[in-house]
Structure 1
Amino acid sequence: MPIDVDVALAAEPATAEFSWTSSDVQLYHLGLGAGSDPMDPRELRYLTDDTPQVLPTFGNVAQSFHMTEAPTVRFPGIDIELSKVLHASESVTVPGPIPAAGTGVATTRFTDIWDKGKAAVIWSETTVTSPDGTPLWTQRRSIFARGEGGFGGERGPSGSQSSIDLSERAPDHDFTIAVSSQQALLYRMCGDRNPLHSDPGFAAAAGFPRPILHGLCTYGMTAKALTDLLLDGDTSRVGRYGARFAGVVFPGETLRVRAWEDGAGYQAVVTAPDRDDAVALAGVEFVPA
């Protein structure tokens, strides 16, 4: 069904209530590699029983944490086969620390739909509050829908929206993150059971030499690494974080993160140095509270 932009953008926001526990938070952090040094007090803050500190990126997955089936892309004005959809970008903004356990009310609406000719880019925004209306976090997401363009809509911006030219100077920080060989198998327990991340045969049929890491795992691992490096591992000091998904990561690889100071925050790029610095995450924005 062709995208009907007017219907999609005018639709009533979808609302859903969900809950999470401190065990969910601990599992999420383990999926990102927390606790690699079990004697480091900073690492153990992510894994404390009942009261772990919470990375803001948990907000990007909290609503879908217990899903065991693939999602659908069917909404008013939008009906797209999942096989045509690629995750394009993700971000989260928090007014304060996310509770280690709680209940949230998520309200989601579509904000922009861009016509790229052979594809469409669909933007959504989800605001999450506690049941009494207290703001908890805001999530922004875009998906790239192949074969769904050509409907005569606005093309939207193109290229990098960076406020600085990262090629002009050396990064202020340049470091690596180890990705364990079982990283995807552990992270899939956070709600994304796509066999592309766990089944070698399925991955081969999709054109990959082996299963790939979840994009949101790379995203979360980078957020944790930047928090540890720049904010002494204190998640309460993170205000906003986001990135564009630019390429794949394979379990067992090493990631390279280069970060540049940019006003009140940082911009970064994440690459795979063993594959000629192939870009995994681009347009990374990390802004302290």
Structure 2
Amino acid sequence: MPIDAAKATAAEPRSAEISWDHKDIQLYHLGIGAGSCQGKHSPATDPDELRYTLESRLHVLPSFATVAGAGMGVVGGLSAPGIDVELAAVLHGGQTITLHRPIPVRGRATSTSRVAAVYDKGKAAILVLRSEAADEDGPLWTSDAQIFVRGEGGFGGERGPSVRVEQPEREPDKTVERAVREDQALLYRLSGDWNPLHADPEFAGLAGFDRPILHGLCSYGMTLKAVVDTLLDGNVTRVRSYSTRFAGVVFPGETLRIRMWQQDSSKVQVSVTAVERDDAPVLADTVVETS
């Protein structure tokens, strides 16, 4: 069997030194649509956007943690002992980031990754790949990626938790739309996710899609940016954690409809859909915990 759950979860954690500077931050922000000023009658040099694109004013959107060090936590997890899967069978099922303190514009840290759990969903397996980053001042973030591997279930393991967040029955407090550029996946992949599913039509066909799809983590970053800019006064340091379930794909050229509910002073609930496909689900069970 390609996945040996016991071997994978018992393996020693892998550690790697990672580093980043303003160019990595700017590239990531551009990859999730910063500078486009969507929905505004203003240029890309709008002061609100320069916080994401100009090195002298730069702050770091917390979802950058998913690509810091070129996403070595996920890459390492898929090559961990006991894990041998076909890349075409792999989809990102969900993502959670917990921030221990704000991410600096320039940093060097040790990233420690391991397979935290393997769940048996019958027709598929779920790998929980955990990476923790810390620098000389202490912990920076913890990232849990839930990786869906088609055809690898049925080995008799635990099904794992099934956490669903009920969508509020009232109207959203805010709704914004964000266009996905046709070239956005090509730009986003330069931050380290080189999966050809997002660029190569032939490979996308092998995975069951008629064309390349957008990275789930790109939608994830676009959504967090919309929440920060719309409900958190542009203050990235207010984000404490951010979790989602990837409920459907996005194709470059589509538009994300992002609905937000301010549940209390410390929680924003979010739903994301694809406008052009009759609000087909994109992100579900999405919560941003704030200070």
CA distance in 1, matches of 2:196, 2:129: 25
Aligned match of 2:100: 95
Q: Contact between 1:60 and 1:91, CA under 8 Å: does it hold in 2?
A: no
Q: Does 1:250 align with 2:255?
A: no
What is the CA–CA distance in structure 2 between the aligned matches of 1:189 and 1:43, rounded to whole Å? Answer: 20
Deviation sequence 1:225-267 (CA, Å, 0-9, x none) = 1110011111111111121111111122111011223342011
Equivalents in 2 of 1:81, 1:259: separation in Å?
36
Give unpaired runs (5+ residues) of structure 2: 37-42
**Which ranges of structure 1 fall in alignment gaps of 5 or more residues?**
none
- In 2, distance between residues paired with 1:87 and 1:180? 21
Q: Report the counterpart of residue 210 of structure 1 in structure 2.
A: 211
Looking at structure 2, the residues matched to 155 and 199 of structure 1 have their Cα atoms a distance apart, in angstroms, of: 33
- Deviation per CA, 1:164-215, whole angstroms, max 9, x where unpaired? x315222222221121222122212212233332334544554434332111
| Superposition deviation, residue 281 in structure 1 | 1.0
Contact 2:270 2:284 in 1 (8 A): yes
Query: Structure 1 residues 102 and 51, CA, compared in 2 at 3 Å: closer, same or farther?
Result: farther
Contact 2:94 2:245 in 1 (8 A): yes
Does 2:121 correspond to 1:137?
Answer: no
Q: CA deviation at 1:100?
A: 0.6
Question: Match of 1:5, as an amino acid?
Answer: A
Structure 1 residues 28 and 101: alpha-carbon distance in aligned structure 2, compared to 1, 3 A threshold? same
Q: Kindly provide the amino acid, as one letter, of the partner of residue 69 in structure 2.
A: Q
The whole-number CA distance in structure 2 between the counterparts of 1:204 and 1:79 is 22
- CA 1:278–1:4 in 2, change beyond 3 Å: closer, same or farther? same
Q: Give 1:48's aligned residue.
A: 54
- The answer to which of 91-100 and 48-57 deviates more is 48-57
Paired amino acid for 2:50: L
Across the two proteins, how many residue pairs are aligned to each other? 283
- State the secondary structure of the residue aligned to 2:160: coil
Provide the C-alpha distance between the structure 2 equivalents of 1:286 and 1:99, rounded to a whole number of angstroms: 20
Percent of aligned pairs with the same amino acid: 53
Question: C-alpha root-mean-square deviation of aligned residues, in Å?
Answer: 2.2
**Within 2, Cα distance between the matches of 1:200 and 1:236?**
38
Q: Mapping of 1:1-289 within 5 angstroms?
A: 1-36=1-36, 37-49=43-55, 52-64=58-70, 73-130=78-135, 132=136, 134-158=138-162, 160-162=163-165, 165-166=166-167, 168-204=169-205, 206-263=207-264, 264-289=266-291
Alpha-carbon distance, 1:96 to partner? 1.8
